[in-house]
């Protein structure tokens, strides 16, 4: 199952819950780009990225693994658990920057396709239903009003101990939306086979119930 959409729409929360309800793996592809962004940051790459080939080499050399955890997914980078570190606000900017590099996307898409074919499951990201598994019969595009998404993200950052003001979060989110939607390779978009689900003003359980019912009707 593919769940795509912009940041702050609730993809991770919904995807984790759906995977648990359906008894299948949860695969957080965004965490993989965050891991490459973290690796680039650690190696002194600065934004905006000027040497895409250097970042592509980092992606080629990095070993990324996803494993189930009580929180939904644990991610390791070259054997190190970086599940918390990749969620830092500055790494979000790196994730968006590295994801715009076609060679990086090619490396990670191959890994994502392998995971999906080996495990099946609920895979969330920005191009799952258009690039990674366009043939899947279950394609959902989860969205919400930008102000609501920014508020959710700001609250999430407070809970993680890395607070940012609502205004900063909204600006960062709007820039990432623009960058993700305008990149030439695998932009954030949707085709006519997606089912669009707007989570604005809806309890998360209602959104999860809605998508679960649609999936079970289609099985």
pLDDT attached to residue 2 = 97
- List the one residue out of 186, 55, 177 whose CA is nearest residue 131: 186
pLDDT of residue 72: 65
Q: Which of 14, 209, 8, 36 is nearest to 124 (CA)?
A: 14
Mean per-residue pLDDT, 58-84? 91
Q: Are 132 and 123 in contact (CB under 8 A)?
A: yes
Band of residue 183 on the pLDDT scale cut at 50, 70, 90:
confident
Whether the per-residue pLDDT at 219 is higher than 80: the answer is no
Rounded Cα gap, residues 163 and 115, in angstroms? 33
Contact in structure between 138 and 14 (CB atoms under 8 Å) = no
pTM exceeding 0.75: yes
pLDDT at 184 over 90: no
Pairing of strands 2-4, 64-67: unpaired
Q: What mean pLDDT is predicted for residues 174-188? A: 87
Give the C-alpha distances (Å, rounded to integers) separating 112 from 31, 56, 107, 125, 156: 11, 17, 9, 11, 26
- pLDDT tens-digit readout, 75-112: 999 999 999 999 998 998 999 899 999 999 999 999 99
Domains of the chain with CATH codes = 2-218 (3.40.50.300)
- Across residues 182-189, what is the average pLDDT? 86
- Please say whether the beta carbons of 154 and 166 come within 8 A: yes
E strands, 26-176, in order: 26-28, 64-67, 74-77, 80-81, 122-125, 139-143
Give the pLDDT band of residue 4 (cuts 50, 70, 90): very high
User: What pLDDT score does 182 carry?
Assistant: 87
Could you tell me the end-to-end alpha-carbon distance of the chain, in angstroms, rounded to an integer? 11
Q: Please tell me the predicted confidence (pLDDT) of residue 119.
A: 86
Residue with tokens 């359906």: 22
Is the predicted pLDDT of residue 198 greater than 80, yes or no? yes
The percentage of residues in the chain with a pLDDT greater than 90, rounded to a whole number, is 78
Contact 18, 208 (CB under 8 A): yes
Task: Please say whether the beta carbons of 119 and 68 come within 8 A.
Answer: no
At 35, is the pLDDT very low, low, confident or very high (cuts 50, 70, 90)? very high
Q: What is the residue-averaged pLDDT of the chain? A: 93
For residue 48, the model assigns a pLDDT of: 95
Taking the C-alpha atoms of residue 93 and residue 70, their distance in angstroms, rounded to an integer, is: 26
Q: Which helix (H) or strand (E) holds 167?
A: helix 166-182
**Residue 176: what pLDDT?**
86
pLDDT of residue 145: 95
Token couple for 118? 């080996």
């Amino acid at each position: 199952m593919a769940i795509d959409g912009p940041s702050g729409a609730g993809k991770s929360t919904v995807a984790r819950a759906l995977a648990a309800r359906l008894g299948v793996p949860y695969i957080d592809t965004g965490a993989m780009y965050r891991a490459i962004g973290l690796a680039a940051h650690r190696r002194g790459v600065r934004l905006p990225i000027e040497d895409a080939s250097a970042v592509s080499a980092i992606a080629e050399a990095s070993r990324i693994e996803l494993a189930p955890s009580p929180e939904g997914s644990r991610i390791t980078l070259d054997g190190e658990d970086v599940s918390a570190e990749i969620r830092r606000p500055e790494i979000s900017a790196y994730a968006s920057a590295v994801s715009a590099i076609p060679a990086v996307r090619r490396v990670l898409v191959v890994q994502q396709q392998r995971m999906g074919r080996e495990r099946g499951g609920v895979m969330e990201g920005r191009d799952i239903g258009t690039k990674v598994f366009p043939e899947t019969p279950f394609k959902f595009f989860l969205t919400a009003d930008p102000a609501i998404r920014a508020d959710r993200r700001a609250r999430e950052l407070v809970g993680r101990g890395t607070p940012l003001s609502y205004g900063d979060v909204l600006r960062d989110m709007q820039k990432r939306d623009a960058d993700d939607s305008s990149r030439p390779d695998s932009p954030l978009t949707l085709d006519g086979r997606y089912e669009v689900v707007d989570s604005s003003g809806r309890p998360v359980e209602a959104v999860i119930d809605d998508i679960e019912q649609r999936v079970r009707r289609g099985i």
